[in-house]
Amino acid sequence: MALKKILLDEHETVCQEGETVLEALLRDNVDIPFSCKQGACQSCMVRSLDVPPPAHAQKGLKDVLCKQNHFLACLCYPEQSMSITLGHQPEYFTEGAVIAKELLNPETVLLTIQCKDALDYYAGQFVNLKRADGLIRSYSIANSRRHAEKLTFHIRRLAGGKFSEWVHQELNVGDTISVSDPQGLCYYLPDKMEQSLLLIGTGSGLAPLAGIIHEALEHGHTGEIHLYHGSREVDGLYWIDEMRELAETYENFHYTPCVSRGDALEGVAQGRANDVAMANIPDLKGWRVYLCGHPDMVNQAKRMAYLNGASLQDIYSDAFHVASPTLD
């Protein structure tokens, strides 16, 4: 039988017959995190960079992790040689040019970037945008997969935010910016088309959710799709008309804008988006849930969604942590 070699960061380990990848690496004194050795704790999760890992080694992993060839080293009896990684790969950047810039609301800009190379991403993922001097920030892709070279982003201006201030004030149409490979696990896969979807976003958390919604509708998702978009005040909302139009076009798409402070206009719900959503949809058993935006909202909503019946495997989230210290 051919030897099964495990290549990790240029170090090669031969996996003996009847030996798991974890056992082989530990025998070879490779420093790899692990704990239970039985597929429960998932601390030894690694990712294959070339061949798909055997299905038995992906037991219990979320679908998005399986899709990206993650697997548990302790469960993996390799069927062939594999090249694997423990963490993040060095990032690859492609060159992009700003082709449009417009305001969505007083604090959020819609930025359209034309990339030199088409990016292979899933709706809902994010990229890192890099300024010429190396300053980097993560932003979610706001469009579906239909335009793989033309990406849109919603960039909210944060008080004291170095990158967002620069985008708002200095970045112009025609300027170049580097765009990383797509990343993140909060995205839409076109399976279980009849599954109901609940999407809750605050602020520019609407960006990935809008991408997911368009992607789902383009794939003919048949389940109900409910979007709750929240902000403190009506000023912080955007795309209200666009989302209403979409709800008129697609019978299974429902949209509820929410404001947590101040007066709500007609057609706008009063309250935090996650509270309004959970009150309207108290039983989430069998639902798929997407949560994007403020970290507190994401954490709270995740727990609530789980307690209301959603399975953890069906909850996808992206908490927008703020990089610069803000004056907010």
Report the interface residues with another protein, using CB under 8 A. 35-38, 40-42, 60, 62, 299, 302-303, 306-307, 311-312, 315
Q: What is the DSSP letter of 234?
A: G
Which of 41/240 has CB closer to another protein?
Answer: 41
Which of 99/279 has CB closer to another protein?
Answer: 279
Residue 172 burial (CB count, 10 A): 8
Smallest separation (angstroms) from another protein to the CB of 298: 11
Smallest separation (angstroms) from another protein to the CB of 36: 5
The beta strand positions in 58-207, using DSSP E, are 70-72, 82-85, 93-105, 108-115, 126-130, 136-140, 150-156, 176-180, 197-202
Token readout for 272 is 């935090």
Smallest separation (angstroms) from another protein to the CB of 77: 17
Which of 11/59 has CB closer to another protein?
Answer: 59
Contact 292, 318 (CB under 8 A): yes
Smallest separation (angstroms) from another protein to the CB of 288: 15
Token readout for 268 is 């706008």
Which of 38/249 has CB closer to another protein?
Answer: 38
Smallest separation (angstroms) from another protein to the CB of 199: 18
Nearest-10 crossing angle of helices 295-307, 273-280: 10
Tell me how far apart the alpha carbons of residues 166 and 80 are, in angstroms, rounded to a whole number: 49
Which of 104/284 has CB closer to another protein?
Answer: 284
Which of 38/169 has CB closer to another protein?
Answer: 38
Which of 72/129 has CB closer to another protein?
Answer: 72
* Degrees, nearest 5: CA angle 236-240-241: 145
Smallest separation (angstroms) from another protein to the CB of 47: 16
Contact 316, 288 (CB under 8 A): yes
CA 264 to each of CA 203, 224, 244, 268: distance values in angstroms, whole numbers, following the listed order? 16, 25, 16, 5
Smallest separation (angstroms) from another protein to the CB of 312: 6
Contact 142, 312 (CB under 8 A): no
